[in-house]
Structure 1
Amino acid sequence: MPALPPSVPPTPVDHRAVVAALRAAGCVFAEDEARLLLAAAGTPAELAVMVERRTAGFPLEQVVGWAEFRGLRIAVDPGVFVPRRRTEFLAGEAARLARPGAVVVDLCCGSGAVGAALAAEVERPRLYAADIDPAAVACARRNLAAAGGEVHQGDLYEPLPARLRGRVDILVANAPYVPTDAVGLLPPEARDHEPLTALDGGPDGLDILRRVVARAPDWLAPGGHLLFETGERQAPAAVEAVTRAGLRARVAVSEEWHATVIVGTAAARSV
């Protein structure tokens, strides 16, 4: 959920009415969400539309048009995958490994949240991003414009400039990893209002990630790093795929965010 702005001055009557509508729709954080909706709406008519969309099950971030991610306000358009707070751990691990001037690729970028975070935390990065979904690409271009990021549309590595082969220092892939049979168990706001391509990772959830891993050595620079998020139970199979691709594998876990990140590192250039 987006963080609350520092000061929101809703009228009590409006606030109570919005809270009541949200509670009736089953919103657990109705008070906080009401403040965000009231802050985002420019007119009573806009507020009515926003409340209607939220109570119909649309993700709050899509309704207000943004999500907080590592202290940044990331634009989130309707139909675009909402960046998860646990993915902040992935971005943090990537930022820790990146050197100044690093070539950074945000694959399966969605809104571009991870790329935007790296642009803010890494000194002078050369940033590229790609996604197969045109709505996500349009959104990411807005979020990465200030950082000078290039955003390309296509399947995984396919749209990336050929000149990046063998030159990528940090390759982050927030690819889908939900097993197909589990997609129907996701909250309705995810399965009904986010693209299936951003959720469904195939029978065991690792189909897309295996494709990412298999081609990563072609794109990584010597000593470059591939990072991606998985479920805790998927980590052993993901590590096996990384090792089979010739990368050195490491698992990073955050209990705070309930997040598991696999790091694959290419061999450094011999001297």
Structure 2
Amino acid sequence: MFAEDEARLLLDEARDASQLESLVARRVAGEPLEYVLGWAEFAGLRLAVAPGVFVPRRRTELLLRLALDAISRPSLLELCCGVAPVATAVKARRPEASVIASDLDPAAVAVARANLEPLDGSVVEGDLFASLPATARFDVIAANAPYVPSAELVNMPREAREFEHPLALDGGDDGLALHRRIAAEAARWLAPGGTVLVETSRRQAPLDREIFEARGWRVELVPDDELDATAVRAVLPA
């Protein structure tokens, strides 16, 4: 963001001079702009956010695009959903879709419900697949699971490092602990011909390919230079 753009957004958000002063003070102290405003823009939507909850990044729009391309019947699960940007944007574009989002963090679940449930989507609180109905099956499972290696959290931008919950950032020793679990568990929840989409980094993508291929998935790595994004697209051979 440019300073002029931030100033305009803060001016638009403030009801009066006193509130404007408060919002500016929070921003000057380093609080993420999205927390100060109470919302984040994602794929043309204004999504509610809350302090501590992972703020959706523009790069995750790659997962949205791939999810929309892959959905046929359609049904989608967003894992580690945070504010549920992918699930909400899919439901906004495909009202007929059956959409569920899941997160372990109660604060994230509360915000995801505010975004998704008015569109008749569902949000569950639990560890990956743990809280899903036993009979649930999905055409697409999309996940922006934490993928920052634990030792690299100290190198993240201050706004993420000091304000977002570590639960939404820490991916374990090599950053891919949750990706391994998704590769091992997702097949049980996919409809025939279904697709798993996982956000990753360009550096970690080759190891992600190995992780999924070792579990029998057919893998394609999808980069997007404009979004500075990389995703794993995995399907099980028929």
Same fold (TM over 0.5): yes
Displacement of 1:121 in angstroms is 2.6
**1:171-250 residue pairs with structure 2 within 5 A?**
171-250=141-220
Relative contact order higher in (CA < 8 Å, ≥ 6 apart): 2
For the residues of structure 2 that align with 1:260 and 1:187, how far apart are their CA atoms?
20
- The one-letter amino acid of 1:30's match is A
Measured in 1, the distance between the counterparts of 2:226 and 2:35 equals: 25
Q: CA deviation at 1:44?
A: 1.7
Q: How many angstroms does 1:123 deviate by?
A: 5.3
Moved over 4 A (4+): none
1:67-146 equivalence runs, <5 A: 67-99=40-72, 101-122=73-94, 124-146=96-118
2:135 aligns to what SS in structure 1? helix
Cα distance in 2, alignment partners of residues 245 and 105 from structure 1: 20
AA aligned to 2:220 is R
- Looking at structure 1, the residues matched to 93 and 191 of structure 2 have their Cα atoms a distance apart, in angstroms, of 21
| Structure 1: gaps spanning 5 or more residues | 2-28
Paired residue type of 2:225: E
Q: What is the distance in 2 between the residues matched to 1:149 and 1:244?
A: 33
State the SS of the aligned residue for 1:251.
strand
Deviates more, 1:241-250 or 1:56-65: 241-250
Is this contact kept in 1: 2:75–2:140, CA < 8 A? yes
Q: Secondary structure at the match of 2:179?
A: helix
* RMSD of aligned alpha carbons: 1.1
| Aligned residue-pair number | 238
Provide the rounded CA distance (Å) in 1 between the counterparts of 2:232 and 2:179: 11
Q: In the aligned structure 2, how far is the partner of 1:267 from the partner of 1:124?
A: 28
Q: Residue 51 of structure 1: SS of its match in structure 2?
A: helix
Residue 125 of structure 2 corresponds to 153
Question: Are positions 1:50 and 2:23 aligned together?
Answer: yes
| SS at structure 2 position matched to 1:87 | helix
Matches of 2:81 and 2:105, distance apart in 1: 9
- In structure 2, give the amino acid aligned to 1:91: L
Structure 1 length-normalised TM: 0.85
Corresponding letter in the other structure for 2:104:
I
CA shift for structure 1 position 258: 1.1
| Alpha-carbon distance, 1:64 to partner | 0.3
Identity of aligned residues (%): 50
- 1:168 equivalenced with 2:138 (yes/no): yes
Structure 2 counterpart of 1:8: none
- Give unpaired runs (5+ residues) of structure 2: none
Secondary structure of 1:183's counterpart equals helix
Q: Counterparts of 1:140 and 1:95 in 2: how far apart (Å)?
A: 19
SS at match of 1:227: strand
Q: For the residues of structure 2 that align with 1:98 and 1:116, how far apart are their CA atoms?
A: 14
What is the TM-score of this pair, normalised by structure 2?
Answer: 0.97
Instruction: Name the CA distance, whole Å, in 2 between partners of 1:145 and 1:41.
Output: 27
